[in-house]
Amino acid sequence: MTDDRLRMTPGPTEVPVDVRERMAEPTPNPDVEPEFFAFYRALTEKLEAVYGDDDVVVLGGEGILGLEAAVASLVESGDRVLCISNGLYGEGFADFVRMSGGDAVVCESPWREPLDLAAIESHLEDGAYDVATMVHCETPTGVLNDLEPVLDLCDGHDVITVVDAVSSLGGTPVPTDRIDVTLGASQKCFSAPPGLTVCSISDRAWEKIESFETESLYTDLEPWRDAAADEWFPYTHLSSNLYGLDAATDLLLEEGLERVFERHEEAATRCRERAADLGLSLYPDGAQSSPTVTALEIPGRAVAVQQRLADHHDIVLATGLGDLAEDVLRVGHMGHNARIDRVDRTMDALATVLEEDE
Ligand SMILES: *Cc1c(COP(=O)(O)O)cnc(C)c1O
């Protein structure tokens, strides 16, 4: 089944037919069929090729589960956590830290600007931090953060790093080998349906996770460390979603990550050229725009334009979130949607809508 709607949102992204067909396979009993564990192990090996060299685990739950689980498993009462933020998801980490009884210190910079390295450095020098959290692509603003210099600073202070790479992983390079816990999800650049969180976890992070008694079940990463080897999942796994992610990962690896990253760059460049032709500015100002999503300023009209695109052109876009809802329109060119023909169809329609509006 297909429809004519073009869903160019920055996640969930359009799910290709191959992936949807795999999800229609017969449903196994993941707890009692050993073949299913062999399948899960093979899937995590493929995902390790996408994530870099760390251990990968896949949890049954949407991307937010990964963010909460990483914090709940690494932060206990009294731990000091530096939450590095220039956006909504960056700020959100502080809430998870407080829920775990940790002491969250937020190092903030304005949403349109890059992370503030000098402020991060002085925080790290002033206080003994156990963990630092940060976001690679702030999807609500279309900002891609340069993580290398931040990771250098964290390295120098022996701080465990947690990175939300949900909307960049599989669309642009992520320095996963330098990160302790990298978080991704099925519904962004993988172009599988929402439902799974993928985390890669370093040995040092596993040690910390195993060093304390966690009072949680669903958000505890520890039982996942040996799940594949011990053939025991903490709960019934989401088999159809895992089949879908397997097909989606095959598509990524068959195309080749280098080519996939190039395709995202090409789609982003086209989107921004077309936006410039329409006289539209990018929301990020000083910060880099992500190859996976473009946030455009359409002051006061973003919701109306979004509605017209859906009603008259069958194209679904996202607006900004919170205070930015009326002023920012977001085009996702992410995963399967990172294609010039899709960007062109979107921007042709946007041109028409903006012209009608004048
Ligand atoms: C999509 C996304 C998540 C997962 O949350 P949603 O509920 O899907 O919004 C987490 N972090 C980032 C940066 C995301 O883009």
Domains of the chain: 6-12+256-357 (3.90.1150.10), 17-253 (3.40.640.10)
Tokens of residue 259, six digits: 């080519």
Longest pairwise C-alpha distance within the chain = 63
Nearest-CA residue for atom 2 of ligand 1: 166
pLDDT of residue 294: 98
63 lines ligand 1 (CB under 6 A): yes
pLDDT of residue 214: 65
76 lines ligand 1 (CB under 6 A): no
pLDDT of residue 127: 87
In testing the pocket of ligand 1, which one of 67, 133, 166 has its CB within 8 Å of the most ligand atoms?
166
Beta-sheet pairing, 315-316 with 6-7: parallel
Cα 30 to averaged position of ligand 1 atoms, centre (Å): 27
pLDDT of residue 313: 97
Residue 213 main-chain phi, psi, to 5 deg: -80, 110
186 lines ligand 1 (CB under 6 A): no
Residue 288 main-chain phi, psi, to 5 deg: -80, 145
C-alpha to C-alpha distance for 161 and 135, rounded to whole angstroms: 11
pLDDT of residue 23: 97
Cα 19 to averaged position of ligand 1 atoms, centre (Å): 21
Burial class (CB in 10 A: 0-12, 13-18, 19+), 300: exposed
Q: pLDDT 10s per residue in the chain (358 long)?
A: 678 899 999 999 999 999 999 999 999 998 889 999 999 999 999 999 999 877 999 999 999 999 999 999 999 999 999 999 999 999 999 999 999 999 999 999 999 999 999 999 999 999 899 999 999 999 999 999 999 999 999 999 999 999 999 999 999 999 999 999 999 999 999 999 999 999 999 999 999 999 987 677 899 999 999 998 999 999 999 999 999 999 999 999 999 999 999 999 999 999 999 999 999 999 999 999 999 999 999 999 999 999 999 999 999 999 999 999 999 999 999 999 999 999 999 999 999 999 987 6
318 lines ligand 1 (CB under 6 A): no
